Amino acid sequence: MLKFATMIGHILIAAMLSAPTTSAPALHVMTWNVCAGTNSACPLYGRSTADLAWHVAVLASDTDAIFLQEFCTGADADLERELEARTGRAWTVKSAPLTHPDGSPYQCHPDRTGRPRGTQSVTLAVAGPDVRFEVHPLTSPPWGPRRFAICTADRAFCTTHLSSGMRNDDRQKGAPYRHTQLRELLKLGADVVGGDLNLVPRAAAIAYKGRDECDPRNRWTYVTRKRKIDYLFARDGRVRRCFLDYARSAWSDHVPLHAWISRR
């Protein structure tokens, strides 16, 4: 009897070891500065809100979360509808609009027919119904645009667009506002964080501590100057794969950046 039980035990253990294991699919996250709001040199400048939504959705229809910068709040509803139509899933889209120093909206330029497109924004789209969000103000130059981070309430995702480094937006030596903004962003403790940081990797070094970066090769993401300033970070050991969609580099002055990240 003991011999028979031992044999059965060995068979069960062997079956367990040889059985295929299943794991949850990785989260697919994309970040992209669409350059749609106020820069007349960009292809999506002046395009309708429906066009903006289409260009994002065609890139990101199999994603779980989308980080957008220089988007327009007037396109939020169009983006939600376009994503839901393409994926068959519910989506929730939320924007944090930029403001001028006096608090007035940092308006997107109207489309080519003169229709308003809302305010230039940093935007977070997440697959799922009724996702809750939080908007966090970041320390910004008193004379420049007010910057924000937008996160899911559970801090699964968090994105931002840091100060640009132009004359009216943190051009001082050492980029003091961008470094302060980056520290504030990281302090929020999101599982997946990223966006247009307007810092090259050596200047964004604090973001790498305890985190995986989607593209350790540091390939360029900013078309105009061929440098890396867009990022996706996840907690250490969670980034599985990274892809820079250079085929779409004519759509914006930034390259869409994709990461596949293991779930919590």
Within a domain: 151: yes
Q: What is the pLDDT of residue 226?
A: 96
Please state the domain count of the chain: 1
Q: Do the bridges between strand 230-235 and strand 211-213 make them parallel or antiparallel, or are there none, so unpaired?
A: antiparallel
pLDDT, one tens digit per residue, over 116-142 is 999 999 999 999 999 999 999 999 999
Residue 13, domain member (yes or no): no
pLDDT-based confidence at residue 216 (cuts at 50, 70, 90): confident
CATH of the domain at 64: 3.60.10.10
**Closest listed residue to residue 50, CA positions, set 27, 81, 25, 89:** 81
The dihedrals phi and psi of 206, each to the nearest 5 degrees, come to -65, -25
**Residue 8 confidence (pLDDT) above 90:** no
Please give the C-alpha separations between residue 206 and each of 19, 199, 201, in angstroms, as whole numbers.
42, 11, 9
What is the DSSP secondary-structure string of 80-145? HHHHHHHHSS-EEEEEEE-B-TTS-B-BPPP-TTS----BEEEEEEEESTT--EEEEEE---TTSP
Q: Is residue 18 part of a domain?
A: no
Task: Label residue 23 by pLDDT band (50, 70, 90).
Answer: low
pLDDT at 110 over 80: yes
Residue 71 lies in a domain: yes
pLDDT at 22: 45
Q: What is the mean pLDDT of the chain?
A: 92
DSSP 247: G
Using the predicted structure, report yes or no on whether residue 3 has a pLDDT greater than 70. no
Residue 79 lies in a domain: yes
- pLDDT tens digits for 177-198? 999 999 999 999 999 999 999 9
Structural domain includes residue 242: yes
pLDDT at 15: 37
Max mean pLDDT among 2-6, 9-13, 28-32, 59-63 falls in 28-32
Q: Which residues contact 7 (CB under 8 A, 6 or more apart)?
A: none
- Model pLDDT, residue 24: 75
- Residue 14 domain-assigned? no
Beta strands in 141-263 (DSSP E): 147-152, 157-161, 192-196, 211-213, 230-235, 239-244, 257-261
Q: Which domain holds residue 140?
A: 23-261
Q: Which residue has the higher pLDDT, 5 or 129?
A: 129
In the predicted structure, residue 14 carries a pLDDT above the cut 90: no
Q: Mean per-residue pLDDT for 84-96?
A: 97
Summarize pLDDT for 31-68 with one digit per residue, the tens.
999 999 999 999 999 999 999 999 999 999 899 999 99
Contact 95, 123 (CB under 8 A): yes
